[in-house]
Structure 1
Amino acid sequence: MASTTSSDVLPKGGKIFTTFPDILFLPEFVFGGLVWILVASTQVFAPNPLGWVMFVSVFCFVGTTLWFFIFVCGGNQSSFWPAVDVAFHFLSAVFYLSASVILAFMTLSMSKNITDGNLKTYRLSISAVVMSYVATLLYFLHAIFSAIRWKRS
């Protein structure tokens, strides 16, 4: 994969599909969307903090979509955009980490009362935890490599 050089701070147009870390947009869409879908399909009990997990997954999915379209349209060529890129992906990584911990805790507490009726919900929660940690890793890697790119520019 090609890397951005110091002459072009952030890629625009089709170059985002060939540069690192911008190629991470696609798996961020996939895994963030999977977290959203899996959490939305589980049964929510009254004292359940899954609202934060849903907020994080929807916020990051919509934010990544907007960020992706800004990159595709080339609206990211000012000097402050690399810092905004780092800030958005770092904030998303922190949000996803907090949501992942909450989701893992809720899944662990659910494991104590597994019956045939809630086995499917338990398995969906396990899948959501895995996808959430993968999304956390992707956003963290994107933030790190965006920070490296920002420092080189």
Structure 2
Amino acid sequence: MNIHLTGLAALFVALTGPALAQDRNMTVHKDPSCGCCTAWAELAEKAGYKVSVVESADIAASKAEAGVPEALWSCHTARIDGYVIEGHVPFDALARLLETRPDVLGIAVPGMPEGSPGMGDDPAARYEVIAWGNEAGDGTLFQKVGD
């Protein structure tokens, strides 16, 4: 019996391990001089993501290439497991995106709201996380932070 359960456990790890590991790999495109982008990337690492940072003086080109609507632009653009993450997105919203896998291109926190992760991380902060692309069109509410 133990051999059978061990075999099932090994099969489970073999089937889910790479997918789980892939979900945690993130590439963050940022301006070399942007400190809040660096802070967000460091918070992502603390949240368990494996972060690679790409510095670019032309960050607008990264956003355009990723398909982020200009109205949703912030200071950095990340990619993870087929999704685009724009700006200071909280990590609970990112985790929900990766868990529920909606038919969207990405989620964004437009601008640079004070208190968002990397911008002070204030629990009393109020801002919106917007989904866009595919079923979300030009933008729909994905999550409200603070009420």
TM-score bracket for this pair, using the shorter chain length: under 0.3
Report 1 or 2 for greater relative contact order, CA contacts < 8 Å, sequence distance ≥ 6: 1
Decide which structure has greater strand share: 2
Scaled by the length of structure 2, the TM-score of the pair is 0.25
Decide which structure has greater helix share: 1
